[in-house]
Amino acid sequence: MLFLGLIGLRLYVPPSELVGLCLIQVSGESNPSVILHKRRPKPPFFRATTRIFFHRLRLCIQLSPFISVLSSNPGGPITQFHPTFTPEALEEKVILIVGGANGIGESLVELCCQNGAYVCIGDIDSTHGAHLSLKCCEKWPVYSDPNLPPKPPRSTFQPVDITDYHDVLGLFDFAFKTYKRIDHVVVTAGSMEPMENWFDSTLSLQAIRTPPSTKDLDVNLTGSLYVVRVASVYLRHNRGPWVDRSIILFSCAAGFKETPGVSVYQAAKHGVQGLMRSLRPYFCSPYKHNLRINTICPWMTQSHTAVTKTLCDRWEEEGLPISSATEVAQVTAGVLADDTLNGTSMYVKGGRAWEMEENITRLEPQWLGEAPSETLARGQKVLKDTWAA
Ligand SMILES: *[C@@H]1O[C@H](CO)[C@@H](O)[C@H](O)[C@H]1NC(C)=O
Ligand SMILES: *[C@@H]1O[C@H](CO)[C@@H](O)[C@H](O)[C@H]1NC(C)=O
Ligand SMILES: *[C@@H]1O[C@H](CO)[C@@H](O)[C@H](O)[C@H]1NC(C)=O
Half-sphere exposure of 166 (CA within 13 A, CB side): 0
| Position 388 in a domain | no
* Omega before 194 within 30 of 0, i.e. cis: yes
pLDDT at 215: 85
231 pLDDT higher than 90: yes
| Position 381 in a domain | no
pLDDT for 100-145, tens place per residue? 999 999 999 999 999 999 999 999 999 999 999 999 999 999 998 9
Best of 79, 80, 347, 367 to mutate for ligand 1, by most ligand atoms within 8 A of CB?
Answer: 79
Half-sphere exposure of 262 (CA within 13 A, CB side): 37
Of 19-23, 72-76, 90-94, 370-374, give the lowest mean pLDDT range.
19-23
Q: How far apart are CA 357 and CA 246, in angstroms?
A: 17
Q: How far apart are CA 327 and CA 301, in angstroms?
A: 9
| Position 314 in a domain | yes
Q: Is the separation of the CB atoms in 153 and 180 below 8 Å?
A: no
Strands 94-98 and 80-81: unpaired
| Position 276 in a domain | yes
List the beta bridge partners of residue 157. Answer: 121
Residue 342 near ligand 3, beta carbon < 6 Å = yes
Q: Which ligand is nearest to the CA of 347?
A: 1
pLDDT for 58-78, tens place per residue? 332 222 333 322 334 445 556
37 pLDDT higher than 80: no
Ligand 2 centroid–CA 87 distance in Å is 31
Q: How far apart are CA 266 and CA 260, in angstroms?
A: 9
Of 55-69, 258-272, 362-376, give the lowest mean pLDDT range.
55-69
Residue 190 near ligand 2, beta carbon < 6 Å = yes
pLDDT for 149-176, tens place per residue? 999 999 999 999 999 999 999 999 999 9
**More confident site: 41 or 195:** 195
pLDDT for 294-350, tens place per residue? 999 999 888 755 556 777 788 889 999 989 999 999 999 999 999 999 999 999 999
| Position 375 in a domain | no
Best of 335, 338, 340, 360 to mutate for ligand 3, by most ligand atoms within 8 A of CB?
Answer: 340
Q: How far apart are CA 291 and CA 285, in angstroms?
A: 8
Range of the domain at 245: 2-355
pLDDT at 52: 39
Q: How far apart are CA 189 and CA 225, in angstroms?
A: 12
pLDDT at 110: 97
Domain count, the chain: 1
pLDDT for 249-259, tens place per residue? 999 888 888 88
| Position 92 in a domain | yes
pLDDT at 312: 79
Q: How far apart are CA 339 and CA 353, in angstroms?
A: 17
| Position 203 in a domain | yes
| Position 50 in a domain | yes
Q: How far apart are CA 33 and CA 46, in angstroms?
A: 9
- CATH of residue 232's domain is 3.40.50.720
List the beta bridge partners of residue 96. Answer: 120, 185
96 pLDDT higher than 80: yes
Beta-strand (E) ranges in the chain? 80-81, 94-98, 118-123, 155-159, 184-187, 246-250, 292-298, 345-349, 352-355
